[in-house]
Chains A and B, each alone.
Chain A
């Protein structure tokens, strides 16, 4: 028994460390690759003289669009995330707190989950045709709309969970205190679901930032996003591994910053003391 209780934690930690390594290894490999020369990389050197050559080429290179890609991705991810959060929050509040008939709720949620199960690529072709006919191809608006559509079901489900956690009495108390629905949302519901908004927002942002097939279909050079920019390094006859690694490393930064900032909001037990 004593031995068992001693080996238990050791084993657990070994397994955890093992998993961490499996997850981290490719990441570390990419970051290291971004500081290598192509030769050092191809020779598989572990000890090398780090160079910023790849970063310089990605950011300042004459043929590189990466800065534009970065700007495009930022605009598209921020815009689509903002729209998704607004729509999902309003929809979830309406569905769960404004006394809809049961079947409305069920039909809408079922429909959204089915929509969520369809791979985005199957929709990309249809969107391309539709957007072209109304002049939305190769525009931010087109990709933002597409990403909004793809992210909305998941965001609706997530915000639904958080909104249902807000005690009904709080909404009622606010109504008695004189608030109409917009103010109930602004002063009571949204401040309470802020952690949920942060979590949902991060997932939507990261999805939009990383999304490849739909952006590929709907954009051209001027509106290309970061994943397309990264992909381009593999389209020549030779694959520019180190530039690709540098671009990949740079592309992780926004999500990383976002996570650190959002951490502040994602605190537990925000409603403690509200009821009971």
Chain B
């Protein structure tokens, strides 16, 4: 277990800078998730921590020691790759004990050391099988077993679940979390899937174009996104955004183009516009138009069983609302929505920062 600290870490490939001066402190035993859209630099950042990629500028500390120039093998890290990267010519047991073999441990000690990991991961029956003889989930477990056996200071995961089907992904997610609760090893986990981020993380780091947008506990980010991007990235279905005008003389009201208007939670003096973000589950159906209601036309109804999602149109805006209860509406119908102003997220329309 160790802390990981990044100070002004940047990465350039040739002339292109893909990570821009990242500062980040990862606590001992923490499960930190790096999340962001594809191509934002998550893997690159993780690979710099692992030592597989050099650091162009800035400093990296693991356990308080500067490791910029320490090779991957001496950083005390284990990595689980998206593709698993199992050695195809070795059995599960040999895959897991390879690091021990390289470290000169005796065959007996190797067998002894992989036992607990194999037990935790339920791999007992598969130890003599080759990767090609294993299912996706089993390969995933062997890859995790290989990482555990080394007893690293830090676990690094690069989208380890994205090659699994949806059901297995949910199960492995829970297993991963349980594993971390048991081992309490510092973990950096990369994913583009915000649900994985929300469910696994002690803290989430939202990355966009090589820049950290926000760091915080999952619900903290969910409830108080620092900007429109974080608001839209976390949560499914995604947050609705309305770009509204604030008429002169009423700094506590925001108007839609069609005349509907919302009561803002506080006065926004000196602004002529605001972007209001409302999560789909914050919207409620009301039977009649009134003060602070939003009227919209139902486009599509998607019942998922536990929830019902409504896709609505309001002028050129699309609105998504989700409801716990079954609702009785038809496509084409005009309905009225309302949300508690306390649940509004307010953003500057130009800078997109929370206000």
Measuring CB to CB, which residues of chain A are less than 8 angstroms from any residue of chain B? 167, 169-170, 172-180, 183, 187-188, 191-192, 269-276
Contact = CB atoms under 8 A, between A and B. Distances in A.
7 contacts: A173-B87, A175-B73, A176-B72, A179-B73, A179-B102, A274-B83, A275-B84
Contacts of A187: 87, 98, 102
The residue among A172, A174, A176, A188 with the most chain B CB atoms within 10 A of its own CB is A176
A173 B81 contact: yes
Interface in B125-175: 130-134, 139, 146, 150, 163
Contact of A272 (B71, B79, B88, B146): B88
Contact of B131 (A176, A177, A178, A274): A274
A172 B163 contact: no
B78 interface: yes
B204 to A, nearest CB: 25
Contact of B85 (A173, A183, A192, A272): A173
Interface of B: 50-52, 71-73, 77-79, 81, 83-89, 98-99, 102-103, 130-134, 139, 146, 150, 163
A176 B50 contact: yes
A116 to B, nearest CB: 31
B54 to A, nearest CB: 10
Contacts of B85: 167, 169-170, 172-173, 274-275
A273 B102 contact: no
A179 B87 CA distance: 13
A175 B52 contact: yes
B132 A269 contact: yes
A178, A187, A272 interface centre (most CB from chain B within 10 Å): A178
Contact of A169 (B83, B98, B150): B83
A274 B81 contact: no
Given A174-B98, A187-B87, A270-B88, 16 more contacts: A169-B81, A169-B83, A169-B85, A170-B85, A170-B87, A172-B72, A172-B79, A173-B87, A175-B73, A177-B146, A178-B99, A178-B102, A273-B131, A273-B132, A273-B139, A274-B87
B52 A191 contact: no
A163 to B, nearest CB: 15
A172 B134 contact: no
The 10 closest A-B pairs by CB, nearest first: A273-B132, A273-B131, A275-B83, A169-B85, A274-B88, A177-B99, A173-B85, A178-B102, A178-B73, A272-B132
Contacts of B139: 273
Contacts of A276: 83-84, 163
Contacts of B130: 273
Contacts of A173: 79, 81, 85, 87, 146
Nearest to B97: A177
A177 B51 CA distance: 12
Of B77, B83, B134, B150, most buried by chain A (CB within 10 Å of CB) is B83
